[in-house]
Copies of this chain bind each other. A is one copy, B any other.
Amino acid sequence: MITTYKVFVPSVIGSGSSLRTGLELKQLNIKKVLVVYDEGMKKVGISDKILNNLEAAGIEYIVFDKVIPDPPDTTVEEGAKIARESEIEGIVAIGGGSSMDTAKGINVLINNKPPISKYLGVQEGLKDGVPIIAIPTTSGTGSETTNMAVISLTKLNKKDSVVSPVCIPKLAILDPELTLGLPPNMTAATGIDALAHAVESLTGAHSNPLSDALSRESIRLIHKWLPVAYEDGSNLEAREFMMYASNYAGMAFTNALVHVGHSIGHTLGANFHIPHGIACALVLPEVMEYASKTEYKKVAMVCEALGHEIKENATPEEIGQGAKKVLRNFIKSLDIPNIKELDIKLEDLLKVAPAVTQDSGIALAPYRITTKQVTEMLKSAYNA
C-alpha cells in the first residue's frame, strides 16, 4: 500500500511508490528536472523505469549519471553547471548516499557560487536551491531525510560535509522494491550503516525523546529484518522494514548527531578505503563499551533493542560489556569483515588514533576521549 507521512522530510512510502515520482513533481508544479544517478542504476533498470514515469507525466528531464562513490567536488561542480545552464526547477536523486549527496551538493551551487569547498560545515545563510526528490535504492545512509551532503575534496584528499537547509530534500520516496536487487554483502554493509546511525544517535549529544524512540524502533527493525534481507534479498517485507529502519535512523541522527564511532569510521574510511557502513561498524562495539561509563541507560536500550535483556541491577560496566558482545555478534552474523579480514595491519591501524581525536565529530563524544583510549579501542577491535 502506498501511504504518506509528513514529518521533517515528507515521504511517500511503500512498494511501487517510485512510480509516483512524476505525479509528485506535477503536484509541486515542477516541469523540468535534473535526474542524478550512477551508471549502475541504468544497468539494473531502475533509472529507466523512473525516467519513463517522468515522461508519462510530461516532465522534461536532463540526465546527470556521473555519480561515483565518495562523490568528489569536481562531479558536484560539473553537475551544478549543467543544472544552472538548463534552468531546471527540481532535482530527482536516485541511488544510495552518493547520488543523494551529489544532488544536494549540486543544489547548493545552483544559487551560491562554486566551488563547493566554500560551503563546508554548518551553513546558515545559503541561498535556496530547487526542491529535491530523494529516491534511495539502498537501506542505510538515511540521506533522504538529512540536512547534510558528504563531499570528497579532491585536492585535499579528504571528505567533509555541507550542512544546510538547502540539502534537505523536499520529499523522500521510499520504495522497497528498488532494493530487491541489492546483493547480500551490500545489503549487510548498508544495513549496518543504519545500525551505526541508530546506535550512536541514542548516545548522541542532541539525543531527545523523539530521536530516542526512532533510534530504538530502528534498532529493533534492523535486529529483526536485516538478517532476513541478508539471507533472502527477495523478501519484500524485510526490504520494506529495512527501508523504514534506515529512514528512522536518518531522522534520529540528523537531530541527535553521531559521535566517536563515526569519527573512527571516517578516519578508517579515508585511510584504508573501506565502505562507510563497514568502517563505522568495525569499532562500534568498543564505542558502546566506552559510552556506557556515562550513558549506561542509553547503552542498555541498545542492548534491549537488540534482544539482549539487561538485569535491573546491572552495573554500567556490565551493560557496556553486554553491548560490546551483542553488537559484535550481530555484526559477525552478517559476515561483515573484521579488521584483520580487511588486511589492515595492527601497526597501520594504531597510527590513525591521533587523527580520530582530531576529527571534528569527536567534540560530540559523551565524555572526553584521549588518543590512548582510542588506541585501546582499536586494539580491542583488532583482536576481536
Contact = CB atoms under 8 A, between A and B. Distances in A.
B208 A5 contact: yes
A3 B248 contact: no
A279 to B, nearest CB: 27
The SS class assigned to the A binding surface is: helix
Given A7-B251, A11-B210, 15 more contacts: A3-B209, A4-B255, A5-B210, A5-B211, A5-B255, A5-B256, A7-B7, A7-B8, A7-B210, A7-B255, A209-B244, A210-B247, A213-B213, A213-B214, A213-B217
Contacts of A210: 5, 7, 11, 244, 247-248
A311 interface: no
A13 interface: yes
A351 interface: no
A364 to B, nearest CB: 14
Contacts of A209: 3, 5, 13, 241, 244
A207 interface: yes
Interface string A1-15: 001111110010100
A207 B255 contact: no
A20 interface: no
A213 to B, nearest CB: 5
A5 B206 CA distance: 8
Interface in A223-264: 241, 244, 247-248, 251, 255-256
Contact of A8 (B6, B247, B256): B6
Contacts of A256: 5
A159 to B, nearest CB: 25
A13 B207 CA distance: 11
Q: Which 7 A-B pairs have the closest CB atoms?
A: A3-B208, A7-B8, A209-B244, A5-B255, A5-B208, A213-B217, A5-B210
Contacts of A247: 210
Contacts of A4: 206, 208, 255
A208 B209 CA distance: 20
A276 to B, nearest CB: 24
A200 to B, nearest CB: 16
A206 B3 contact: yes
13 contacts: A3-B206, A3-B208, A4-B208, A4-B255, A5-B206, A5-B211, A7-B7, A7-B251, A8-B8, A209-B241, A210-B244, A213-B213, A213-B214
A59 to B, nearest CB: 22
A5 B215 CA distance: 13
A190 B209 CA distance: 20
Most buried by B among A208, A214, A217: A208
A220 to B, nearest CB: 9
Nearest to A145: B7
Contacts of A241: 209
